[in-house]
Chain A
Amino acid sequence: MLETSAMVMMALILGTIWGGLAYFVNRAYRREKREAQGGSDE
Chain B
Amino acid sequence: MEKKEQFTSRWALLLATLGMAIGAGNIWRFPRLAGQYGGAFLIPWAIFLILWSIPLLMVEFSLGKETRKGPVGAFAAFLGKNYTWMGGFVCLCTSAIMFYYSVVTGWALKYFTAAAVGDLAGANHQEFWESFIASGYQPILFHLLALGVAGVIIYRGIVNGIERANRILLPALFVLLVIGAARSLTLPNAAEGLNYFFGFHHANIFDYKMWLEALSQSAWSTGAGWGLVLTYAVYARRREDVTLNAFITGFGNNSASLFAGLAIIPAVFSLAPAIGRAPLDILKEGNEGLSFIFIPQLFEKLPGGQIMSALFFLALFFAALTSLIAMLELATRMFMDFGIRRQKSLPIVIIVTALLGLPSALSLKFFKNQDWVWGLGLIISGSFFAFGVIRSGVKRFREKFLLAEYNDLRIGAWFDGIMKYLIPLEAVALLVWWFNREWDAQMWWNPLSPFSLVTCFFQWGIVMAILILVNKQLYRLLTRQSV
Contact = CB atoms under 8 A, between A and B. Distances in A.
B42 A13 contact: yes
Interface in B248-280: 248, 251-252, 254-255, 258
Contacts of B194: 2, 6, 10
B247 to A, nearest CB: 5
B195 A2 contact: yes
Interface in B1-34: 9-11, 14
Given A2-B195, A3-B199, A6-B199, A17 B239 contact: no
A36 B195 CA distance: 46
A9 B202 CA distance: 13
Contacts of A17: 46, 251, 254-255, 258
Contacts of A2: 191, 194-195
A6 B203 CA distance: 15
| Range for the number of chain A residues in contact with chain B | 20 to 34
A10 B349 CA distance: 44
A28 B244 contact: yes
B198 interface: yes
Contact of B238 (A13, A16, A24, A42): A42
Contacts of A28: 10, 14, 241, 244-245, 248, 408
A1 B237 CA distance: 50
Contacts of B9: 32
B251 A10 contact: no
Interface of A: 1-3, 5-7, 9-10, 13-14, 16-18, 20-21, 24-25, 27-28, 31-32, 41-42
Given A28-B10, A28-B248, 8 more contacts: A5-B39, A5-B198, A5-B200, A7-B198, A17-B255, A24-B248, A25-B248, A28-B241
Q: Which 10 pairs, one residue from A and one from B, show the smallest C-beta to C-beta distance? A: A21-B251, A6-B198, A9-B198, A10-B198, A41-B239, A9-B39, A6-B195, A20-B251, A24-B248, A6-B199
